[in-house]
């Protein structure tokens, strides 16, 4: 008998039971997806994520006893291979930045839940960033209006963690994800998650941009002509 394909394991956290059940039923309809846990507040979401290690955690931004952003930060630190999708009612580039800086890769408006949640989970589970289309338009408009000067200011405010600095250095040195994973004693999936979050946090879109950032911030140095 052929070995069963690994299921995508998902945790759902929302303080409204009906919303949780609706999300659970929507996700369960997808072949190969399994909801392995539910939580009614942020602290419970963190505890269950640490215990169950789901591939994706879906967090409502407005929850008691740790909100979704606080929970996302803790999950980023304690279960870095778990990728986070945040649900919110707010449409603004400021909220998008707060969500992404908290370590989430997905941003879904509750008003667009039925239309976009499945796509968000698919993208985030593959290490891609997902923004609800309406919010993506807002963010793009802000970038176009503010130009590169705003991007530079944002990069100045966004500071990588010590672990992210390690990964930036290795990426800038041309190391592959597999090599980085071995060097740091983590999984390739965790490297991919860190890499996606770094690119979003720093507003970068390519490895060339990451190299320029690493040189500018003296994370890596170029050899002198004498060498």
Q: Which residue has the higher pLDDT, 99 or 148?
A: 99
User: Is the pLDDT reported for residue 223 higher than 60?
Assistant: no
Structure tokens at 140: 């793009």
Pairing of strands 83-88, 106-109: parallel
Distance between CA 30 and CA 18 in Å, rounded? 19
pLDDT per residue as tens digits for the range 154-175: 444 568 889 999 999 998 877 8
Q: How confident is the model at residue 98 (pLDDT cuts 50, 70, 90)?
A: confident
Cα–Cα nearest to 45, from 23, 16, 67 = 67
Handedness of CA 18, 119, 160, 155 (dihedral sign): negative
Contact 54, 45 (CB under 8 A): no
Contact 110, 80 (CB under 8 A): no
Q: How confident is the model at residue 217 (pLDDT cuts 50, 70, 90)?
A: confident
Which strands form 33-39's sheet, in the order they lie side by side?
Answer: 33-39, 8-13, 56-60, 83-88, 106-109, 130-131
Across the chain, what does the average pLDDT equal?
83
Q: Which domains does the chain have, with CATH numbers?
A: 8-137 (3.40.50.2300), 158-216 (1.10.10.10)
Report pLDDT for 142: 57
pTM of the model: 0.69
Report pLDDT for 89: 92
Structure tokens at 2: 């052929």
Contact 72, 99 (CB under 8 A): yes
Contact 121, 101 (CB under 8 A): no
């Amino acid at each position: 008998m052929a070995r069963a394909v690994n299921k995508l394991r998902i945790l759902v956290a929302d303080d409204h039971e009906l919303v949780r059940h609706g999300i659970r039923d929507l996700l369960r309809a997808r072949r190969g997806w399994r909801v392995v846990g539910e939580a009614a507040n942020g602290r419970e979401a963190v505890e269950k994520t640490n215990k169950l290690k789901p591939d994706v955690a879906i967090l409502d931004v407005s929850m008691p006893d740790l909100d979704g952003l606080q929970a996302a930060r803790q999950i980023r630190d304690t279960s870095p291979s778990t990728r986070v999708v945040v649900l919110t009612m707010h449409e603004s580039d400021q909220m998008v930045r707060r969500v992404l800086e908290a370590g989430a890769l997905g941003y879904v408006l509750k008003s667009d839940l039925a239309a976009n949640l499945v796509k968000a989970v698919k993208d985030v589970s593959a290490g891609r960033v997902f923004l609800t289309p309406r919010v993506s338009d807002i963010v793009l408009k802000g970038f176009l209006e503010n130009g590169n000067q705003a991007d530079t200011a944002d990069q100045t405010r966004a500071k990588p963690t010590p672990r992210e600095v390690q990964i930036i250095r290795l990426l800038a040195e041309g190391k592959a994800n597999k090599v980085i994973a071995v060097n740091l004693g983590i999984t390739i999936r965790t490297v991919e998650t860190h890499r996606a979050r770094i690119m979003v946090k720093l507003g970068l879109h390519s490895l060339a941009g990451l190299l320029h950032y690493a040189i500018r911030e003296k994370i890596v140095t170029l050899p002198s002509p004498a060498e």
